[in-house]
Amino acid sequence: MKKFNFRKVLDGLTAASPVGSSGGGSGSGAGGGSVHPGGTAGAAGTPREEIQETLTSDYFQICKTVRHGFPYLPTALAFDPVQKILAIGTRTGAIRILGRPGVDCYCQHESGAAVLQLQFLINEGALVSACADDALHLWNLRQKRPAILHSLKFNRERITYCHLPFQSKWLYVGTERGNTHIVNIESFILSGYVIMWNKAIELSTKTHPGPVVHLSDSPRDEGKLLIGYENGTIVFWDLRSKRADLRAYYDEAIHSVAWHHEGKQFMCSHSDGSLTLWNLKSPNRPFQTTIPHGKVQRDGKKPESCKPILKVEYKTCKNSEPFVIFSGGLSYDKPCRRPSLTIMHGKAITVLEMDHPIVDFLTLCETPYPNEFQEPYAVVVLLEKDLIVVDLTQSNFPIFENPYPIDIHESPVTCTEYFADCPPDLIPVLYSVGAKHKKQGYSNKEWPINGGAWNLGAQTYPEIIITGHADGSVKFWDASAITLQMLYKLKTSKVFEKQKVGEGKATAEIVEEDPFAVQMMYWCPESRIFCVAGVSAYVIVYRFSKHEVNTEIASLEVRLQCEVEDIITPEPETNPPFTDASSQLPSLKSLSGSTNTVACEGTMKDSIPCLSVKARPVRMPPGYQADLIIQLVWVDGEPPQQITSLAVNSAYGLVAFGNCNGLAVVDFMQKTVLLSMGTLDLYGSSDPYQRQPRSPRKSRQFAAGLTELNDSAVSLELERCKSPTSDHVNGHCTSPTSQSCSSGKRFSSADVSRANRRGPGRPPFRKAQSAACMEISLPVTTEENRENSFSRSRSSSVSSIDRDSKEAITALYFMESFARKNDSAVSSCLWVGTGLGMVIILSLNLPASDDLRQSDPVMVSPSGTILTLKGAVLTFACLDCMGTLTHRPYEVWRDPHSADDGDKTRKRKLVMHSPSSSQDMGDHQFAVICSEKQAKVFSLPSQTCLYVHNITETSFLLRADVVTLCNSVCLACFCANGHIMTLSLPSLRPLLDINYLPVTDMRIARTFCFTNEGQALYLSSPTEIQRLTYSQEMCDNLQDMLGDLFTPVETPEAQNRGFLKGLFGGSGQAFDREELFGEATAGKASRSLAQHIPGSGGIEGVRGAAGGVIGDLTRARIALDERGQKLGELDERTASMMASAEAFSKHAHEVMLKYKDKKWYQF
């Protein structure tokens, strides 16, 4: 399977062999801090030749695959009643087309103009969109990636309303000026037939009637068009005679109009909350006026007006009263009432209150014909942040259970993780525990939007996406085969006590809004250990169990703070970033209150966590159950800083996390704190004293008192730096109140100024991180300011690291590695990366046997090894001597609450090396380290820097992951300037570099992540996840994986109208639009009125959109099929004509024989 050809000479490369690169960092040795210059990629010695790398640039191509979630800022809704597919338009110019689960298509107008209206060509596989830039577009849906066939851009008029009659090729377009134009759908050319507003109203009114708000043809006669104007004028226009049959007026503005199916009456909704019913025979006034939600006055006056009824639908039933369904119209005296949809059926009025404002709604009916009994069966309601479908066939109007993943944003997403090719048993296990929480009370009928077709593609490996949310919830999603389905939801906030409003506790949160927001997640799929870091400076370790338990939650408190002298006298340069940041963030005033209280309280906060863990036993249902909660505490009035890095290892039983103050390592098996140390203390005597210019700390501050920390003095230093609770080895921790705290200490002027200086500056970063409306993290809107904000804040804006004199922990990685230069075998290590590009290796001394693991202490000690890179460290990985990715050690999952407590089941089963590599890892390995500026590959244990690649000079990386692709391994990077890059490993050759995704929003920066098999994702909007691939193979196969939007369906036949209805029911059947609107009769429209733009919706457009050989072959096959079908039809016609000609020839021959011998006078 592997194509590696290796010769064991790498560790023979000494420190002198590579040549220093211009931008390379330095690697520091173990003992004396000797410096080894990093080699460039392809340096002297050419180690690249030693491992044959299989990945080339031909393996990579970037394309978007699918978008999940609710369409952001929806504006329009349409439904094809025959194909049974739904289209939603948005304010950003996007269209989402939904069918059965798996059929979900996203397309985008290039202009980005808001979609005003959508109209399906029913059962034709096409869709018309009208946009705010006054352009009409015809989309071809008969291909998996819809494309625009035609566009028509109006130059002098603004589009306000469109109507396309069923089975018609002429589209009516109403404008702001009050005119009505007619467009041929096939050619997308404007007809010369125009209904001018002044002709429509003639001299009946003295003022302009306003924009056209409604257009519809009469169900009884297609030759009659009903035009509704905003000011209350209604015109019934005869298209043949080009004059108005009737005009009606109402003194309130019209919002919508709906016909009765017989075409004799129609209903209007108005701005005063009224509904008027009009009869064509008496148009002088409505024969019925109602204000459904208006209060009836005692003195018999007209009911008081209500809010506008924005839309009404009037649907008839054969065996019951008609349905009148409308949105809006509520009384003004209930300002706090939620948006509502009202269903009037006979005398019964049902008001359905919604959680969000209603954008649009549509009634789904059994027939597409407007002149038949409509028989409504459901209502699709598009809300600002949700899509619901109401079942009209049941009297209590239940809603259908929605099969689409449109609740991603139920609480705003704050972080994401993506796992491809994970263990196959995880998805059914997570689904089994998640299915027990399903809601009840849904309609028992199937989801009615079930059009299109979708088949499981060739890609079969399981994928899981995890989303963390602002309310503390975590959702696990099955993302296999480019679909998305929720498996399981975990609520992390349940382990904490609820904060009472106005509670004057000393443990006031450092975050006023969303104190439980999930900031980071770490998941080990093999051991099923899950860990979250919250915005309120806590870490929760979860274990997975199939059994319900009722138990107390173990908790630890960690004191992780820099020494006072390190922060009380910073350089003057540290002030501007805070004032700069606070001036940019509008939410500063509301967020800084909790930190300002520090200065005015009677006692200084010390050793107090931000949140209170539940002290009583807690019922934990099957699924993820909290095993340990670790909280950082306030120190001397300073709130704990947010966690910036997190790592867990199930084989070691350890969790490590860091922030801008330092590092903590906790044994979650023994429930003890092993290490709680400031970042500077981690260096010990190996500190290279090579500080980057952006660190304002003076040398005397970090040099003082640190020289005693070397390998021999570890225990003393560890004892000095222990957390106040770390001496409780048995896991019993004292409560915060029982600990002695320095409450008697008074504030000095420096303390107060420090609290005032640093307090207000911190919360906006927290808020930006915890709130999922992450727009406030990037408050500037101009491109120039965006660039400045990114270059100025560097990783701090992304990692929420306070930009002061501290060195943050930015990356952590547990692995079996060579900790020191002279090591002959691998040992358990923790690799620590900092914001200044330093890499510190800590040795982990674990008990020799599993039996002693619960009792013997674990020792953590600095190895003395320090490596350096440019920029904050982002990620680590380890390759074995063959260049294969080494899997982190893990414990095979076992249920912690299994009923069988035998020795066999309780014994831990550890996997220390990846099964893909040999048990003997060889005498050396490769360490891959990537920072926000460069990537380096070191050979261990020699610590020789084999390869350096300076990824970016002008920008910085937001995300970097070492991933597997096509049985090989590469480094995938996403840069703040929008570039997506991949580098080969171990040689760091550039394989892909495409400027693909401009970081226009902090949301993209915080949620972008890579995974194996060439997949990646990011949050494209607050409600949508965009998945993409950087694999050429997947781009080629994508066409086969997508669903079909159009499937061949017979259009239902129209009901037999009967003899009398056909005789007296109007002359609609005889109406010939082609004759009336065609160029021969109506002439050509003015060229300056609208401009026709041909689209790329043909086969060429599809090829450009989808790409790939498979897609081309598929399209060619479809084209051949269509051509073959047409040739077959032609063949049949030719045969028929030949038979007819033969019969005629035979008949002519017989006639000739009959009259051959007769004279002319005998005829």
Residues in a beta bridge with 168: none
**pLDDT tens digits along 257-305:** 999 999 999 999 999 999 999 998 888 889 899 999 888 777 667 778 8
Residue with tokens 């900790």: 819
Residue 1157 has what pLDDT?
67
Q: Which of 301-305, 790-794, 908-912 is modeled with the greatest confidence?
A: 908-912
Residue with tokens 């008192």: 705
How far is Cα of residue 56 from the mean position of the Cα atoms in its chain? 30
Residue 1159 has what pLDDT?
60
* Residues 6 or more apart in contact with residue 674 via CB below 8 angstroms: 654, 665, 666, 667, 726, 857, 858, 859, 860
Compare 1110 and 737 and report the one with higher pLDDT.
1110
Mean pLDDT of 87-105: 94
**pLDDT tens digits along 370-413:** 999 999 999 999 999 999 999 999 989 999 999 999 989 999 99
Residue 53 has what pLDDT?
87
Residues in a beta bridge with 466: 417, 476
**pLDDT tens digits along 1017-1071:** 999 999 999 999 999 999 998 888 888 999 999 999 888 665 445 545 544 445 6
Q: Alpha-carbon distance 362 to 1094, whole Å?
A: 31
pLDDT exceeds cutoff 60 at 582? no
Residue 445, judged by CB atoms within 10 A of its CB (0-12, 13-18, 19+), counts as middle
Two tokens, residue 506: 């000393």
At residue 959 the predicted structure's pLDDT band, cuts being 50, 70 and 90, is very high
pLDDT exceeds cutoff 90 at 874? yes
At residue 900 the predicted structure's pLDDT band, cuts being 50, 70 and 90, is low
The answer to whether 996 and 955 have CB atoms below 8 angstroms apart is no
The pairing of beta strand 529-534 with beta strand 518-524: antiparallel
pLDDT exceeds cutoff 80 at 774? no
Residue with tokens 């048995």: 730
* Residues 6 or more apart in contact with residue 72 via CB below 8 angstroms: 90, 91, 92, 94, 1020, 1021, 1022, 1023, 1024
The pairing of beta strand 549-551 with beta strand 288-290: unpaired
Residue 708 has what pLDDT?
29
Residues in a beta bridge with 948: 936
Compare 304 and 325 and report the one with higher pLDDT.
325
At residue 810 the predicted structure's pLDDT band, cuts being 50, 70 and 90, is very high
- Type of residue numbered 974: F
Q: Which of 1006, 998, 543 is nearest to 793 (CA)?
A: 1006
Q: Which of 723, 693, 700, 720 is nearest to 708 (CA)?
A: 720
Cis peptide before 941 (omega within 30 of 0): yes
**Helix or strand (DSSP H, E) at 79:** strand 74-80
DSSP 8-state symbol, 399: B
pLDDT exceeds cutoff 70 at 813? yes
pLDDT exceeds cutoff 50 at 1012? yes
> Among 358-372, 447-461, 971-985, where is mean pLDDT lowest?
447-461
> Among 426-435, 711-720, 848-857, 901-910, where is mean pLDDT lowest?
711-720
Residue 228 has what pLDDT?
94
Residue 134, judged by CB atoms within 10 A of its CB (0-12, 13-18, 19+), counts as buried
The pTM (predicted TM-score) of the whole model is: 0.78
Q: Alpha-carbon distance 815 to 501, whole Å?
A: 45
Residue 1098 has what pLDDT?
54
Cis peptide before 847 (omega within 30 of 0): no
**pLDDT tens digits along 349-368:** 999 999 999 999 999 999 99
pLDDT exceeds cutoff 90 at 931? yes
Residue 364 has what pLDDT?
96
> Among 521-525, 782-786, 975-979, where is mean pLDDT lowest?
782-786
**Three state DSSP letters for 136-186:** EEEEECCCCCCEEEEEEEECCCCEEEEECCCCCCEEEEEECCCCEEEEECC
DSSP 8-state symbol, 466: E
At residue 122 the predicted structure's pLDDT band, cuts being 50, 70 and 90, is very high
Residue 924 has what pLDDT?
84
Residue 510 has what pLDDT?
63
Q: Which of 234, 180, 231 is nearest to 209 (CA)?
A: 231
- Type of residue numbered 638: E
Q: Which of 999, 615, 588, 949 is nearest to 768 (CA)?
A: 588
The answer to whether 8 and 26 have CB atoms below 8 angstroms apart is no
Q: Which of 65, 43, 25 is nearest to 1041 (CA)?
A: 65
Mean pLDDT of 888-908: 73
Residue 369 has what pLDDT?
93
In the chain, the percentage of residues whose pLDDT exceeds 90 is: 49
Q: Alpha-carbon distance 813 to 667, whole Å?
A: 15
> Among 426-430, 602-606, 1000-1004, 1023-1027, where is mean pLDDT lowest?
602-606
At residue 578 the predicted structure's pLDDT band, cuts being 50, 70 and 90, is very low
DSSP H helical ranges for 958-1023: 1002-1007
> Positive or negative, the Cα torsion across 998, 1000, 1006, 1007?
negative
DSSP 8-state symbol, 783: H
Report phi then psi at 555, rounded to 5. Answer: -140, 150
DSSP 8-state symbol, 1084: B
Residue 1135 has what pLDDT?
74
Residue with tokens 């998945």: 1027
Residue 112 has what pLDDT?
92
- Strands (E) in 40-142, as ranges, are 60-69, 74-80, 85-90, 94-98, 104-108, 115-121, 126-131, 135-140
> Among 207-221, 655-669, 730-744, 886-900, where is mean pLDDT lowest?
730-744
> Among 109-123, 575-589, 927-941, where is mean pLDDT lowest?
575-589
- Type of residue numbered 149: L
Residue 282 has what pLDDT?
84
Residue 1014 has what pLDDT?
94
Q: Alpha-carbon distance 1025 to 1009, whole Å?
A: 11
Residue 692 has what pLDDT?
42
Residue 402, judged by CB atoms within 10 A of its CB (0-12, 13-18, 19+), counts as middle
The answer to whether 108 and 127 have CB atoms below 8 angstroms apart is no
* Residues 6 or more apart in contact with residue 12 via CB below 8 angstroms: none
Residue 599 has what pLDDT?
36
> Among 147-161, 777-791, 1144-1158, where is mean pLDDT lowest?
777-791
pLDDT exceeds cutoff 90 at 914? no
Is 347 strand, coil or helix? coil
Residue with tokens 């000393």: 506
Is 468 strand, coil or helix? strand
- Type of residue numbered 20: G
pLDDT exceeds cutoff 50 at 961? yes
Report phi then psi at 1073, rounded to 5. Answer: -70, -35
pLDDT exceeds cutoff 50 at 442? yes
Mean pLDDT (the chain) is 78
Mean pLDDT of 606-630: 91
The answer to whether 1023 and 70 have CB atoms below 8 angstroms apart is yes
- State the greatest distance between any 2 C-alpha atoms of the chain, in Å, as a whole number: 142
The answer to whether 520 and 643 have CB atoms below 8 angstroms apart is yes
* Residues 6 or more apart in contact with residue 79 via CB below 8 angstroms: 85, 86, 87, 120, 362, 364, 380, 449
The answer to whether 149 and 139 have CB atoms below 8 angstroms apart is yes
Mean pLDDT of 888-895: 88
Residue with tokens 């520090």: 598
**pLDDT tens digits along 402-430:** 999 998 999 999 999 999 988 889 999 99
Compare 765 and 230 and report the one with higher pLDDT.
230
Two tokens, residue 200: 């429509």
Residue 1126 has what pLDDT?
65
Residue 202 has what pLDDT?
77
